[in-house]
Amino acid sequence: MEKQFQSTLQSNYSLQAGEVSAQSPSNIALVKYWGKKKNQIPTNSSISYTLTHSFTTTNLQFKPKEEKGFDVNVFLEGEYKESFAPKIITFFERITDYLPFLEQLSFEVHTSNSFPHSSGIASSASGMSAIALCLVEIEQQLGGTLTEDERLKKASFLARLGSGSACRSVYKGLVEWGENHFMEGSSDLYGFKYPDAEVHEVFKTFHDTILLIHEGQKSVSSTVGHNLMIGHPYAERRFEEANENLKQLLAILKSGDIEAFGKLVEHEALTLHAMMMMSDPAFILMKPHTVAALEKLWEFRRETGNHLYFTLDAGANVHLLYPAQDAEAIEIFIEEELKQFCQNGNYIKDKVNF
């Protein structure tokens, strides 16, 4: 039990019916979280950009109930999803010590994503973060006494227990997660909003265009994925390198060195995939069109000098990262040369959110 996140409700709080809503964005990691210990503690620090147009909107309706246990019904885009409830219930079991009302209310969760469910864009980060924000709001409605900052910190703490990367979706800008010795304020328990003042203006203009190379379910779930790092022959070196990369990235973010940024971020993405290829069992999550898009991107960069870089999640899609100053030429290139690698020609134009 983490004392600082204990419920602030009085022991005689009274239950009532009501509803709350929250919207939470997706995020894209620059230094990747890959590997965790018990209780959703990360094995290395990570940092991500929060996105603008890819988000989850969640409405939570609640009313008092008498029976014991959790009672949750989930609707996605208005459609009842029986299969979603167990995931939320597992989440509630992990956080019930911090929100004593969870077992005393029945919940109806109405959630929708601004991106298609089949797109392969992970909705767990934005989804868990949105629910966590709603739950903290309910605590407040029932008489909780947290300040705005404390509410966000608690939402990030709770979101982490739902899905690790979700703790970084609570804040805008760049968000770090994972305790390290070089960032004051960093913690394994919640996301830390990296100060905007430490970030060069050019990095606040970045676009993230997501090439939907392969729509559909990911072939490795995050639980299986993180477990691949247990006993992995390169695990310890990877965890060290991630922390070194983060430290280096912070200096780059301050300096405005776009090329150094791109080099580091691409290395992180390829390392994540290399780790999976060297795992037992092994996974290759890139598709032929992923590789084709990366080769074209490198060729374009060599020939034009435009600042176009990529990162990857644990899937086949490619996140194209580029500053606004080069957006015009790059977007023509995407339309003419990269779109062909997207399933049904689909890609999502997003931006970082500062």
The residues, any chain, with a CB within 8 Å of residue 285's CB and separated by 6 or more, are 218, 219, 220, 273, 276, 312, 314, 315, 316
* Shorter beta-carbon distance to ligand DP6: residue 267 or 296: 267
313 binds ligand DP6 per the rule CB under 6 A = yes
For residues 35-54, b (16+ Cβ closer than 10 Å) or e, as one string? Answer: bbeeebebbbbbbbbbbbeb
Stretch binding ligand DP6 (CB under 6 A), from 78-86, 112-120, 158-166, 292-300: 158-166
38 binds ligand DP6 per the rule CB under 6 A = no
Nearest approach in angstroms of CB 125 to ligand DP6 is 6
DSSP 21: E
Binding residue for ligand DP6, selected from 7, 20, 26, 33, defined by CB under 6 A: 33
* 202 class by beta-carbon count within 10 Å (0-12 exposed, 13-18 middle, 19+ buried): middle
* Shorter beta-carbon distance to ligand DP6: residue 176 or 326: 176
Binding residue for ligand DP6, selected from 58, 156, 165, 209, defined by CB under 6 A: 165
Residue that the structure tokens 């990366």 belong to: 294
* Shorter beta-carbon distance to ligand DP6: residue 40 or 56: 40
Nearest approach in angstroms of CB 110 to ligand DP6 is 22
What is the spatial distance between Cα 331 and Cα 215, in angstroms, rounded to a whole number? 21
Range 203-262, binding ligand DP6 (CB under 6 A): 222-223, 226
Q: Give the H or E element holding residue 127.
A: helix 124-141
* Shorter beta-carbon distance to ligand DP6: residue 144 or 315: 315
**Could you tell me the end-to-end alpha-carbon distance of the chain, in angstroms, rounded to an integer?**
33
Token pair belonging to 267:
């290395």
88 binds ligand DP6 per the rule CB under 6 A = no
Cβ(128)–Cβ(134) below 8 Å: no
169 binds ligand DP6 per the rule CB under 6 A = no
Cβ(132)–Cβ(170) below 8 Å: yes
Nearest approach in angstroms of CB 238 to ligand DP6 is 13
Q: Which residues bind ligand DP6 (CB under 6 A)?
A: 29, 32-34, 40, 46, 122, 124, 163-165, 222-223, 226, 272, 313-314
